[in-house]
């Protein structure tokens, strides 16, 4: 339920990797009353944060065809596993700026920046950035549901609530999602998230690990130049 919308939008607009439908802004979460209420509590908590940092591992692949240099597996021509780290600046729970790094074995490191002015990427320590002609959607960090998605709480302890989001297969190829959100019941923040994607009867898994810095990330100059 977190930062998916921007990446799925890029997949559809640029590469059409998994032919997913981008959720509409008016979408509302459905499911048990407790699970839907939990989302509202999470949104209220994130609206007070200046920033979120995260690390993504698992079936995420290094993919120069994408503006950020990575995407979710499977993607034809992109098989090298990647590690992604990102810092997001929040304003009232919305992501207004993001800066990240992509690393993969035997591949150049990518840096990327996404903000209201556009999408940018640079290789290594290069001072010149490549600009991608894609619109940026300022979406809620606790983002909109996917088509047909339903929520339920699968376990509750003093230290952790596990919320599940199930999405039936849709698109072409048929793609289904199962998401597990591990939430702190004292803060309603989510230190950990696991997402399983099933495509053509094969399942892929990714893990997000989140931290919550006290200040937003530093702005990055993104000059577009040659050489």
Q: Could you tell me which residues come within 8 angstroms of residue 32 by beta carbon, excluding any fewer than 6 positions away? A: 151, 152, 153
Kindly report whether the peptide bond that precedes residue 173 is cis, defined as omega within 30 degrees of 0.
yes
Name, in order, each residue with C-beta under 8 angstroms of 86's C-beta and a sequence gap of 6 or more. Answer: 3, 53, 54, 56, 98, 99, 100, 101
Domains of the chain: 4-21+28-211 (2.50.20)
Q: State the pTM of this model.
A: 0.88
pLDDT number for residue 68: 92
Could you tell me the CA-to-CA distances from 176 to 80, 118, 192 in Å, in that order? 23, 30, 20
Burial of 36 (0-12, 13-18, 19+ CB in 10 A): middle
Rounded alpha-carbon distances, angstroms, from residue 140 to 26, 145, 154: 12, 11, 24
Per-residue pLDDT reduced to its tens digit, 124-160: 889 899 998 787 777 889 987 888 899 999 999 999 9
For the ranges 9-18, 55-64, 74-83, 205-214, which has the lowest average pLDDT?
Answer: 9-18
For residue 180, give both structure tokens: 């597990």
């Amino acid at each position: 339920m977190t930062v998916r919308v921007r990446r799925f939008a890029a997949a559809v607009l640029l590469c059409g990797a998994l032919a997913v439908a981008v959720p509409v802004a008016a979408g509302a979460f459905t499911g048990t009353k407790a699970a839907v209420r939990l989302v509202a509590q999470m949104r209220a908590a994130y609206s007070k944060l200046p920033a979120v940092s995260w690390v993504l591992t698992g079936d995420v692949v290094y993919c120069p065809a994408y503006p950020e240099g990575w995407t979710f597996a499977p993607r034809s021509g992109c098989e090298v596993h990647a590690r992604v780290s990102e810092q997001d600046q929040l304003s009232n729970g919305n992501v207004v700026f993001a800066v990240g790094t992509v690393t993969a074995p035997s591949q150049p490191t990518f840096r990327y920046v996404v903000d209201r002015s556009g999408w940018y990427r640079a290789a290594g320590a290069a001072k010149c950035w490549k600009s991608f002609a894609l619109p940026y959607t300022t979406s809620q960090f606790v983002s909109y549901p996917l088509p047909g998605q339903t929520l339920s709480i699968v376990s509750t302890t003093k230290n952790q609530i596990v919320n599940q989001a199930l999405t039936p297969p849709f698109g072409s190829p048929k793609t289904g999602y199962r998401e597990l959100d591990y939430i702190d019941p004292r803060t309603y923040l989510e230190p950990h998230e696991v997402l399983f994607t099933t495509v053509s009867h094969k399942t892929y898994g990714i893990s997000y690990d989140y931290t919550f810095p006290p200040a937003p990330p530093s702005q990055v100059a993104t000059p577009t130049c040659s050489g």
